[in-house]
Structure 1
Amino acid sequence: MARPLRIAVITVLGFLLSTLVDLAFNTESELGLDTLFRIRGPQTTPEQVVIVAMDEASETRLGVGQDLTRWREFHAKLLDQLHHQGAGLIVFDLQFIAANPSVDPTLANAMRAAGKVLINECVQKFRRGVEDFYGREECSDHNKMPAISREGEPATTLSEQLVVMRKLAPTPAIAQAALDRAPFYLINDSENASIRESWTFYDALAEAPSLPVLAWFYYQPASSDYPVNQPLSAWLTEQRRACANASKPDKPSKQLICAGDSRYLNYYGPPRTLRMESYADVYEGKVEDLQGKVIFVGRANRQFSPGKSDFFQTPYSDSRTGKMAGVEIMATQFANLLEDNFIEIPVAGWLISCLLGLLIALLLVGFPGWPGIVLSLLFTLAYAGSAVSLFAQRHWWLPLAGPLLMQLPLSWLLSLAWSRYDLMLERGRILEFVSRVFPQWVGILPAAPGQWTEAGIAGTEKDVSGLCLATDIEGYTSIAAEHSPREMWALLNTYYQVLGRPVVSHDGVIADVTGDAMMAVWFDAPANKQRHAACLAALEMATAVESFNSSSNLAPLATRIGLHEGELTLGSLDAGTSSHYRAIGDTVNIASRIQGVNKYLGTRILASHSIAAHLDGIVSRPVGTFRVVGRAEPLSLVEIVGVKHSSDNPQNPMHAVFADGLAVFQEGLWPEAAHLFQAALALDANDGPSRFYLQKTLHYSEMPPLAWNGIVVLESK
């Protein structure tokens, strides 16, 4: 597939995935925006905003409980205290719907005397008549009346899309005494949705302004545009309706009136971040420094109580902070208006996602494989850092969840899939080349592409530092004598397929197959990685051979395996008119000798000490030092036992006893060694090394060697 097409596919698929997931799960808000808030942390709050909290302490001290109408007898004195201290504006997040004739006149007089009191209008939202009802505080069940009349049979079901919103006016005495009033609607907290944006105007309520917007206009210095013969709320509604025919607004106030009907709230922190004073303390005159402040009075618990109503999720909400009171959200919107620092979306999110996806695709296609993945990761992290910085400094909200969680991983998957596809094409070209130049190698080429290319198929030889694995079939000559050549061919053909799969799956290369022996090599990789891969391959080969033997109708092929590492030469040997690739060197011969030691010890997998003695994840045990036929230098060998499944894997008790016996054996303490080897066999009667050394010990007890150095000399292969 051409590069431009790949770039287009990665860009489009990444964008579509992030968009669809966001539409289905609202990920940019639930994860992106909330994460930006939490990373940024709390912000400095404007000193002009103060919340007077009708909290638990005030409920107890004033003896009012949770009945909001009982608080009214204290509101008059509260207003007197605030007016006396010179509060700039007083905003009640209370609706005053139910009349209380005994105290309403006193409260109305206090409101008139203060002359700067705004109150909240109740907003009720109905869906499908009265089947779904939403409202805050005093917009309670006793005010839930049918918003529309149903026509037809009583059982008629109204449409799910039928939505009605209405306002309930405060009691007349208080409504007339207040400076002005406006609604402030929040969704019902039982829906458990986070409040991330708030209305500035309610177009569904005849373009009515929200209470924080109304408070902001009253708090600003008087403008010549403001009316003198009607409430500001009515004038704002008129201005809002006239926006359709007005020119582009040039003043902040006009922009606020004519812009969209909602803004994203820039929360200053978790609940109780804004200055909050207890209602009872203000009522009793214990709070000072209220001169010129905008006071928001409403229900706000100082301690989180999940059973309370009128509390809402915000981006900072968690089990520790709890939810935020409605009056705090109202004060937050007013503070945002005051400082003009709402959360803004500077560029359409879809456009940023497209550009980001395009740049990621260019990096992945331009730098195939891991370089492209690393570069795209660094680029995306740089973008994420910029998004966090711009959110903290300029309150800009850029997409975060989609690029990091959807676009980038999907782009990686597509890039890796194409890389694998390209490798398979390359393997096809290699196979075609090998079939023409080295036809004898076609049947045993490794399944993983590219492994022999580094060995130099196109060249003649290569010196490497590698690891060799040698196998041999025990008693092969006797088995071959009992079967026809055709039967042996069929048996060995299946056997070498079984034996070769673990080598290929662990990145090894089959270097030679001759009769009953196979040679595999690992090279051009870190030493520990080669050792670990070869040990795992050997263990899997032993298990695979056991399964093969149990399912075969012919004689079992008991396989011995030896491992050694050192210098190798990989190259082509010319014989007549043919060329054969082989692994050549003393390392190959030693690996073959090591596998032969299995015959003496009754083991299946032996390796030179350097391969597995300190290899994490592999269980091994030393089995002694040997001088094999044809080599003057002794070999310290270990048995590869299995895979270590956990760091606290207990040691095999028999292995511990054997190790003690081996130590005293090498010191020439024959009686003690014999006792320990007998103890090891008592724990495991089938342990070949213990049986071998017990026989040696008994022999040396009768005929001690003339010069003992702890090395066992083997006289034959």
Structure 2
Amino acid sequence: MARPLRIVVIAILGFLLSTLVNFAFNTENTLGLDTLFKIRGPQTPPDDVVIVAMDETSESALGVGQDLTRWRHLHAGLIRQLQKQAASFIVFDLQFIRPQPSEDQELAATMRAAGNVLVVECVQKFRHGDQDFYGREECSDSNSRPAISREGDTNIQLPEQLVGMRKVLPTSAIADAALDSAPFYLISDASNSSVREVWTFSDALAESPSLPTLLWFYYLQHSGAIPDQGKPLSAGLTAQRRACQSNSTISVSNAVSERQINEVLCEGDSRYLNYYGPPRTLRMESYTDVYEGKVGDLQGKVIFVGRANRQFSPGKSDFFQTPYSDSRTGKMAGVEIMATQFANLLEDSFIEIPAPGWITSSLFGLLIAILLVGFAGWPGIALSLVFALAYASSTVWLFGQRHWWLPVAGPLLIQLPLSWLLSLAWSRYDLMRERARMLAFVRRVFPQWVGMLPATPGQWTENVNVGSANTERDVSGLCLATDIEGYTTIAAQHSPREMWALLNTYYQVLGHPVVSHDGVIADVTGDAMMAVWFDAPATQQRRAACLAALEMATAVASFNLSSSQEPLATRIGLHEGDLTLGSLDAGTSSHYRAIGDTVNIASRIQGVNKYLGTRILASHSIAADLDDIESRPVGKFRVVGRVEPVKLVEIIGVKHGDNAKPNEMHHLFADGLAAFQQGQWTDAARLFHAALARDANDGPSRFYLRKTLECSEMQALEWDGVVVLDGK
């Protein structure tokens, strides 16, 4: 499989599995976000936020117990104490739903006099009309009444699909006396899952702002950051939310950014809370101490009043899991979550998702896949691990410094290991393919070694099937023979060590084109190399051998230019026919060779280059049907040791397109060769002269001109057009 396709497959599979696991188990929240909070640790909350806790100490000291309605006669005194301290705002996270006439009048009068008290509105989520109510504290305990009226038989169950939410307002006396009121609904209240998101506006409740959002806008008005929007502000914010025209209706000072106001009013209805730490991280004062005037330093503070235990007390209601919750810290009170949301608004420090999670996960998986495919095996795994650690470190840093939440659990726990497995599986697959290729090569060239190869890597057996393989094999193939011109003279000028170093580099240059074109180097002796092609269609073998020969000539020319030693002029000959591949035993050693007349003729053809001044010669059949290989006939030769003449062609190069211009010199030479073979010496000499006029360095024209002049001076009794060579 191609590398780009492997990269895409690894990236897509990792992303899909990560997405499915996150969808099924919410891993990015439970493992990702919660872990980031714990790694970052607690942070310092703003000083302006204080919680007055209706805690265990206050319950005992004031004799009110856990029934929240028994505290109501105390709230007026608490408000008066906070007014003496000049608190900025007082927020009651208490639902004043059940009327208490004997106490409500005093409390309402105190609230009205203070002018800075906000109260929470009860939110109920219901199903089946009068069943399955969900709400905080007395909101659910005291108001389980039908949400809709039913006609006819009241025993008929309402459909399951009837699901809704509603607000239950405080008593009219309290609601009228308070500065304003708004709902505060916790998404996961009364459940075991952690509270991570809170509403800024509740679209399901007619675009109502949540109480922390409402308080924040009152705070901005009080500090002069925004102009007075009129009262009650909750109705005005709802109208602006519906119109979403904050840019034209609210002007801001430098104390708060217009961007933040626009985001709160117009962009989404929930935000991820940036918790400052476990329960009781925010400043918390006991209700009793504040009521009795024992607490100072509350001037300008925003006070949240509500139930909040000082000690972990399991089983109590209105306490919720957070990312910091554990068996030691316990759950967090609802009033602390409300105060945390207001503090986040105050500091503009909500947890933000800078880009959709699927984009980040996709890019992570893609980069991991590129590393694993580009650096196969353990190097790729090591590099991907380094990248994953860098990504994890960046994620932790961005979370701590910028409050940015990037996916962690999916990329590191799912995508990375899966990518490793896929990469190793492909490496194993590539190894098995390479082994199969090597085994096929050994079967072709070294069949006597096949019995030693294992069924799987790592299981070498030296004695299995050793005797079952043939020691020789007859094939129809193609031989390529090379030789270095003037090698004896060059060797005489250097030490054996110097020649070894020179030839070692030379044969690496010479052998690469053979291997790259699926050839096999059968023998290297001194200055000569023999390569063979077999077990492939004839046309494919011929093309591969010609291309290898051309690349060898180019590679040797480059090698000679870069070498400080004498140039190694290489001659190449090609011939095809029957051969025998086999092992030749010499004493105690065995040598595998290509044997046969085809090998000898290829070597003789290579030698003809010396006479013609050429570099690559081949028997005529090799280039006969290769349209993309440029060649030219150079005559018929009777080489040493062979009676039958060999018709040869020079391999010139690779053709580039069908519109290549004809070589005029080659045409003149071809006509001269035809005249020479017919014994027309005068015409042949004239044509060879004309060819040399076009290219004075053309070796075949120069050879045949000299041969023509020799023949014209001899009176041959019989002429067959064959050139006889007496030397190799």
SS at match of 1:143: coil
Corresponding position of 1:76: 76
Residue in 2 that maps onto 1:63: 63
| Partner residue, 1:708 | none
Task: Mark the CA change 1:280 to 1:373 in structure 2 (over 3 Å): closer, same or farther.
Answer: same
Aligned to 1:411: 419
Quote the residue 2:200 is aligned against: 200
Work out whether residues 134 and 187 of structure 1, in 8 Å CA contact, stay in contact via their aligned partners in 2: no
For 2:271 and 2:128, how far apart are their aligned partners in 1?
A: 28
Question: Does the 8 Å contact 2:28/2:410 carry over to 1?
Answer: yes
**Deviation at residue 514 of structure 1 after TM alignment:** 11
The alpha-carbon deviation at position 577 of structure 1 amounts to: 10
Q: Take 1:43 and 1:202, find their aligned partners in 2: how far apart are those partners?
A: 28
Confirm or deny that 1:352 pairs with 2:360: yes
Equivalent positions of 1:394-405 (< 5 A) are 394-405=402-413
Amino acid of the structure 1 residue aligned with 2:145? M
Structure-2 residue corresponding to 1:226: 228
Residue in structure 2 matched with residue 430 of structure 1 by the alignment: 438
In the other structure, the counterpart of 1:305 is 313
Partners of 1:224 and 1:373 in 2: CA distance? 55
Shift of 1:245: 10
The 3 A distance-change label for structure 1 pair 310 and 424 is same
Q: 8 Å contact 1:136–1:188 — kept in the other structure?
A: no
1:40 aligns with 2:40: yes
Shift of the 573–75 alpha-carbon distance from structure 1 to 2, 3 Å rule, reads: farther
Aligned residue number for residue 603 of structure 2:
none
Does residue 117 of structure 2 align to residue 117 of structure 1?
Answer: yes
Q: Which residue of 2 aligns with 1:268?
A: 276
Q: 1:244 to 1:227 in 2, by over 3 A?
A: closer
Q: Displacement, 1:575?
A: 6.4
- 2:451, 2:464 within 8 Å by CA — same for their partners in 1? no
Work out whether 1:236 is the aligned partner of 2:244: no
Indicate conservation of the 8 Å contact 1:181/1:233, yes or no: yes
**Counterpart in 2 of 1:638?**
none
Kindly report which structure 2 residues correspond to 1:513-528, keeping only aligned pairs within 5 A, or say none.
none
Q: 1:10 to 1:247 in 2, by over 3 A?
A: farther
Alignment of 1:301-700 (within 5 A): 301-449=309-457, 504=459, 509-512=460-463, 574=585, 579=590
User: Aligned-pair distance for 1:444?
Assistant: 3.9
CA distance in 2, matches of 1:154, 1:407: 54
What is the CA distance between 1:266 and its match in structure 2? 0.3
Q: What is the alpha-carbon distance in structure 2 between the residues aligned to residue 44 and residue 182 of structure 1?
A: 28
> Which amino acid counterpart does residue 205 of structure 1 have in structure 2?
L
**Are the counterparts in 2 of residues 118 and 178 from structure 1 also a CA contact under 8 Å?**
yes
Cα separation, partners in 2 of 1:111 and 1:54, compared to 1, 3 Å: same
Supply the distance in 2 between the matched residues of 1:187 and 1:329 (Cα, whole angstroms).
Answer: 12
Q: Following TM superposition, by how much is the alpha carbon of 1:366 offset from its aligned partner in structure 2, in angstroms?
A: 0.4
Give the AA of the match of 1:171.
T
Q: Aligned partners of 1:162 and 1:244: how far apart in 2? A: 33
Q: CA deviation at 1:100?
A: 1.2
- Partners of 1:276 and 1:573 lie apart in 2 by 96
- Compared with structure 1, are the counterparts of its residues 5 and 159 closer, same or farther at alpha carbon in structure 2 (3 Å cutoff)? farther
Name the CA distance, whole Å, in 2 between partners of 1:11 and 1:251.
Answer: 36
Separation of aligned partners in 2, 1:577 and 1:247: 100
CA distance in 2, matches of 1:292, 1:223: 15
Q: 3-state SS of the aligned residue for 1:102?
A: helix
Do 2:190 and 2:319's aligned partners in 1 also have CA atoms closer than 8 Å?
no
Gaps of 5+ in 1: 452-503, 516-571, 582-717
CA, structure 1 residues 94+371, in 2 after alignment: closer, same or farther (shift >3 Å)? same
Aligned partner of residue 121 in structure 1, secondary structure: strand
Asked whether the 8 Å contact 2:124–2:140 carries over to 1, the reply is no
Corresponding residue of 1:136: 136
User: What displacement does 1:158 show?
Assistant: 4.2
> CA contact under 8 A between 2:368 and 2:416: conserved in structure 1?
yes
Aligned-residue offset at 1:173 = 1.3
- Do the aligned residues in 1 keep the contact of 2:201 with 2:209 (CA within 8 Å)? yes
Structure 2 length-normalised TM: 0.61
Contact 1:216-1:334 at 8 Å conserved across structures:
yes
Matches of 1:245 and 1:333, distance apart in 2: 21
User: Which amino acid in structure 2 is aligned with residue 321 of structure 1?
Assistant: T
SS at match of 2:461: strand
Q: 2:22 — aligned with what?
A: 22
Over residues 352-397 of structure 1, what are the superposed CA-to-partner deviations in whole Å (9 max), with x where a residue is unaligned? 1111111111101100000001111110110110000000000000
C-alpha contact 1:212 1:333 (8 A) present in aligned 2: yes
CA distance in 1, matches of 2:225, 2:33: 36
Distance 1:288 1:248 in 2: 39
> What amino acid sits opposite 1:275 in the alignment?
R
CA contact (8 A) 1:55 1:299 kept: yes
Per the alignment, residue 277 of structure 1 pairs with 285
- Provide, for residues 509-530 of structure 1, a one-character-per-residue CA deviation record: whole Å limited to 9, x for no partner: 3344799xxxxxxxxxxxxxxx
**Residue in 1 that maps onto 2:723:** none
Aligned sequence identity (%): 73
> 1:226 touches 1:232 (CA, 8 Å); kept in 2?
no
